[in-house]
A and B are shown apart, each in its own frame.
Chain A
Amino acid sequence: MSIDRTPSRKTLEAIRFGYGLPGPSERLGLLALPDRTTVSELARRFRRIRQSNADTPADRQARRDTRIELLRTIGGQARLAVARAVSAENDYEERLVQFWADHFTLSFSQLESLTFTHFFIEEAIRPHISGYFSDMLKASTKHPAMLFYLDQTTSMGPNSFIAKRRPGRGLNENLAREVLELHSLGVGGGYSQADVTELAKLFTGLSARRSDLAFEFRPALAEPGAETVLGRRYGGGAGASVKDIDAVLDDLSVHPETARHIARKLAVHFVSDTPSDELVADLAALYRLKDGYLPDLYRALAAHPEARRHFGAKAKPPFDFVVSGLRALGVTGSDVLQMDLRLMRRAITEPMDRMGQPWRRPPGPDGWPEEFSAWITPQGVAERVNWALNAPKLFGLTEVDPLEVATRALGELASDNLIWAAPKAETRAQGVALVLASPEFNRR
């Protein structure tokens, strides 16, 4: 089942590759958020308080205050992300930021670490989406948030300076495994357990400081000697160095398996849960031809005939559903930035959680599910219907005309069923809810 109307090119691009109709209305100004130093200080304070057993009234108050400050920080980050998507001048780019943030997934359970994801996206992902994949892979692998998330900061070479003095400490393969399995070659990408272990040894020394969230290379943790990954030797010169790690990441990023893995992921995300081999092969070939230069891939994907053929086969995940819902209602990015954090929670992050997408906490390092069936569940649809019913009230937009919303948000895609039903609702808000809950609004 899919959408049975044929979209114009503009509609297709706005819905398949953007955050839906209507397009952007404005340009957001510069935005102030707590910076990395402030946030790392806050996180450290929270961690210290949490780990302490001190329990005077003053301690309890400090614990509550710090927690609230953290929640406000995360709320502010969420507000910015939603505002940017709502008003994104170039939707496709913003969608790609989310795509790559999901490819290089972070998912922190601890509140204080959850604040780091924002910096990861702004520093490791956003600056690189329009460049070479290798630069993004290197930035992600060396970013402090990733090093914390995948336990690299606890890893050390078994023969490193420090491990020799601390018996029982050694390698942690987590980052090495995920770099191969999720970030580059992909599962089944022709690497062995030996490659994982060797890469883990090569990665030793990559570390980060909790105090200010800064990257650091610590030679005292690094395994001496050279490592062989996928048949090629790295390192082994005088002293460990980040250059050797960059070299293996550069090689991994132009590997044919990486080309196929990235091509497939892009096709699955933007086109179909089950893209044709031909589409994947076309994109992979282009990736290899251009050495992983991404803008060429994006263009080819959007222009590919299959992008049109499977229109409507994908479900908008909750974030995209909510963002496109805000657009449909006429809420702007500036409106979002002015929302107080309580409304932000009630209208956006809590409903997203109930729809199955808790804020920046995907189920594991493999990110959010792509399958239609993962989102369009009884619980998921019920909560989308609830959001559709509540949103007009929450944003004070109960006088909006349902058919106007349908036209604005769906253009030629509104079905006869929807056009028949929407004006018959008891209130305008309920009519608008039908538009936002409709299959054609939730599909893309």
Chain B
Amino acid sequence: MTVSRRVFLGGACSITAHPLVTPMAFAATPGDHRLVVILLRGGLDGLDAVRPVGDRNLAALRAGGMTDLGFDLDGFYSVSAGLNALEPLWRTGELAFVHAVSTPYRDKRSHFDGQDILEAGSVGLDGTRDGWLNRMLQTMPNTYAEMAFAVGGDELKILSGQAPVMNWSPETDLSLTAQDRLLLGHVYKDDPEFHAAISEALDLVDGGMMDEGERSGRAHRERDLAVFTAAQLRGDTRIACFSVNGWDTHRNQRYSLNRSLRGFSDILTTLKAELGPIWSNTTVIGMTEFGRTAAMNGTAGTDHGTAGAMILAGGAVRGGRVYGNWPGLDEASLYDRRDLMPTEDVRAYAGSVIGDMYGITDTDIESVVFPGLVMDTRPRIVL
């Protein structure tokens, strides 16, 4: 935290007046591990993105509608060409995938309910009001306001709850003239809450990427999210989350999915570049509310399904492999004779990551963070 920037407003109000930013709070941190959760809203087509080319039924199910084929993973799986930019990460063991996983959500295949369950970390729509990342924070000692950061203008229920969480959208502009700043500082100087909030806001606007000349346009929104998130993770933030849309590929997914995957690859490579040495302590989880139908629909796309893929990246990840149990794509092996069968709970992998990174106990994971989850066969994902 850069105190010098924070006190630019001047006046009588000291930084320590705000209860959440007392220096005490920084005495202990959850180590150096960084966790980034990226919610892929809309339902990522795992069968196309992380393609089981070794499954003899794939070609018939997906005739003519898939994105171009990218690099080979392990002989059985290849990625979509949209992920080709990630090949160096795969080679260095900083990229992994999990296949045939899903949340416990079944059958109704609604985006809204599916996302609510993904973010609540619950078994069903059972009235859980807070998000699993927030509940994870609640189990950790010595948390502080900037430890967790909700990035972007989209609502992130996954981080809502009792534990304090910072929130900022890199799209927020606050162009104040020097005189505006001076006068606003005067108007806020005797009100610690307003003073702390505006100081923090100006810090975020001033910090790193947000120099006027460097502001990228709307087309680069996702890269902005990654750059901004990395800037926070270089500072006091340890846990960050944002969401990316564009996965609901009902039509012509050859083009739309390719675009979304390229955007996602860009996010990961940007995070790595911006994080520098911190990347080695970082785990990025990309997760979605459900996978898509095994077969193409009549409009060269896919409809809402059940199991799909999860993406893991970062220097902390035991990468270079595809985790999971492949159920097969013959009709009898499909869920409901239409979707990829879920063979594992996606929460078990997220649980494994947070257990290894932050020392969250299995008991806390099973009872607090992901109620109803049994961490019996716990895959070890983090180095």
Interface residues of A (CB under 8 A from B): 1, 53-55, 109-110, 151, 174, 177-178, 181, 353-354, 358, 363-364, 366, 372-373, 376-383, 385-386, 389, 415, 417-418, 420-422, 424-426, 430, 433-434, 437-439, 442
- Our pick among B160, B180, B184, B194 for the contact of A363 (Cβ within 8 Å) is B160
Is the pair B184, A378 in contact by a Cβ cutoff of 8 Å?
no
Interchain nearest-CB distance for A151 vs B (Å)? 8
- Our pick among B166, B174, B186 for the contact of A385 (Cβ within 8 Å) is B174
- Our pick among A353, A358, A379, A417 for the contact of B190 (Cβ within 8 Å) is A417
Question: What mask results when residues 164 to 177 of chain B are scored 1 for a CB within 8 Å of chain A, else 0?
Answer: 00111100111011
Is the pair A386, B193 in contact by a Cβ cutoff of 8 Å?
no
Q: Across the interface, which residues of A come within 8 angstroms of B192, CB to CB? A: 1
Interchain nearest-CB distance for B313 vs A (Å)? 27
Given A174-B125, A178-B127, 10 other A-B residues pairs in contact with their CB atoms under 8 A: A1-B191, A354-B153, A363-B157, A377-B197, A378-B166, A381-B201, A385-B184, A415-B190, A430-B180, A434-B184
Is the pair B186, A420 in contact by a Cβ cutoff of 8 Å?
yes
Is the pair A434, B183 in contact by a Cβ cutoff of 8 Å?
yes
Q: State in angstroms the CA–CA spacing of A281 and B306 once bound together.
A: 50
What are 7 A-B pairs with beta-carbon distances under 8 A?
A: A1-B193, A110-B112, A378-B197, A383-B172, A386-B172, A439-B191, A439-B194
Q: Is B298 an interface residue (CB 8 A)?
A: yes
- Our pick among B127, B183, B201 for the contact of A378 (Cβ within 8 Å) is B201
- Our pick among A109, A178, A353 for the contact of B112 (Cβ within 8 Å) is A109
Interface hits, B141-179 → A, CB 8 Å:
153, 155, 157, 160, 166-169, 172-174, 176-177, 179
Q: Is B198 an interface residue (CB 8 A)?
A: yes
- Our pick among A109, A178, A381 for the contact of B194 (Cβ within 8 Å) is A381
Is the pair A382, B183 in contact by a Cβ cutoff of 8 Å?
no
Interchain nearest-CB distance for B17 vs A (Å)? 9
Q: Is B221 an interface residue (CB 8 A)?
A: no
**Chain B: interface residue count, which band?**
35 or more
- Our pick among A53, A417, A425 for the contact of B189 (Cβ within 8 Å) is A417
Evaluate whether A379 and B187 lie within 8 angstroms (CB atoms) in the complex, with A1-B193, A110-B112, A174-B125 already known. no
Interchain nearest-CB distance for B192 vs A (Å)? 6
Is the pair A421, B205 in contact by a Cβ cutoff of 8 Å?
no
- Our pick among B157, B169, B250, B297 for the contact of A354 (Cβ within 8 Å) is B169
Q: State in angstroms the CA–CA spacing of A418 and B177 once bound together.
A: 18
Q: Is the interface of A mostly helix, strand, loop or mixed?
A: helix
Q: Is B188 an interface residue (CB 8 A)?
A: yes
Question: What mask results when residues 200 to 213 of chain B are scored 1 for a CB within 8 Å of chain A, else 0?
Answer: 11011100000000
Is the pair B187, A438 in contact by a Cβ cutoff of 8 Å?
yes
Find the A residue at minimum CB distance from B183.
Answer: A421
Q: State in angstroms the CA–CA spacing of A357 and B197 once bound together.
A: 17
Q: Across the interface, which residues of A come within 8 angstroms of B190, CB to CB? A: 415, 417
Question: What mask results when residues 276 to 317 of chain B are scored 1 for a CB within 8 Å of chain A, else 0?
Answer: 000000000000000000000111010100000000000000
Q: State in angstroms the CA–CA spacing of A380 and B166 once bound together.
A: 11
Q: Is B129 an interface residue (CB 8 A)?
A: yes
Q: State in angstroms the CA–CA spacing of A174 and B127 once bound together.
A: 8
Q: Across the interface, which residues of B come within 8 angstroms of A422, CB to CB? A: 183
Is the pair B179, A425 in contact by a Cβ cutoff of 8 Å?
yes
Q: State in angstroms the CA–CA spacing of A373 and B19 once bound together.
A: 11
Is the pair B297, A358 in contact by a Cβ cutoff of 8 Å?
no
Q: Is B251 an interface residue (CB 8 A)?
A: yes
Interchain nearest-CB distance for B250 vs A (Å)? 6
Q: Across the interface, which residues of B come within 8 angstroms of A420, CB to CB? A: 186
Which of A181, A385, A442 has the most B CB atoms < 10 Å from its CB? A385
Q: State in angstroms the CA–CA spacing of A417 and B188 once bound together.
A: 8
Q: State in angstroms the CA–CA spacing of A53 and B190 once bound together.
A: 59
Q: State in angstroms the CA–CA spacing of A177 and B204 once bound together.
A: 41
Closest 7 CB pairs of A and B: A378-B201, A382-B201, A378-B200, A439-B191, A381-B197, A421-B183, A109-B112
Q: Across the interface, which residues of A come within 8 angstroms of B176, CB to CB? A: 385
Interchain nearest-CB distance for B176 vs A (Å)? 8
Find the B residue at minimum CB distance from A362.
Answer: B155
Q: State in angstroms the CA–CA spacing of A422 and B187 once bound together.
A: 9
Is the pair B155, A358 in contact by a Cβ cutoff of 8 Å?
yes
Q: Across the interface, which residues of A come within 8 angstroms of B177, CB to CB? A: 426, 430
Interchain nearest-CB distance for A185 vs B (Å)? 15
Q: State in angstroms the CA–CA spacing of A426 and B180 once bound together.
A: 8
Q: State in angstroms the CA–CA spacing of A209 and B328 once bound together.
A: 41
Q: State in angstroms the CA–CA spacing of A178 and B198 once bound together.
A: 37
Is the pair B129, A364 in contact by a Cβ cutoff of 8 Å?
yes
Find the A residue at minimum CB distance from B297.
Answer: A53
- Our pick among A372, A378, A434 for the contact of B187 (Cβ within 8 Å) is A434
Find the B residue at minimum CB distance from A350.
Answer: B153
Q: Across the interface, which residues of B come within 8 angstroms of A55, CB to CB? A: 251-252, 299
Q: Across the interface, which residues of A come within 8 angstroms of B197, CB to CB? A: 376-378, 380-381
Q: State in angstroms the CA–CA spacing of A198 and B179 once bound together.
A: 64
Which of B125, B188, B301 has the most A CB atoms < 10 Å from its CB? B188
Q: State in angstroms the CA–CA spacing of A378 and B191 once bound together.
A: 14
Find the A residue at minimum CB distance from B301.
Answer: A53
Is the pair B169, A378 in contact by a Cβ cutoff of 8 Å?
no
Which of B179, B197, B200, B203 has the most A CB atoms < 10 Å from its CB? B197
Find the A residue at minimum CB distance from B168.
Answer: A379
Q: State in angstroms the CA–CA spacing of A67 and B190 once bound together.
A: 47
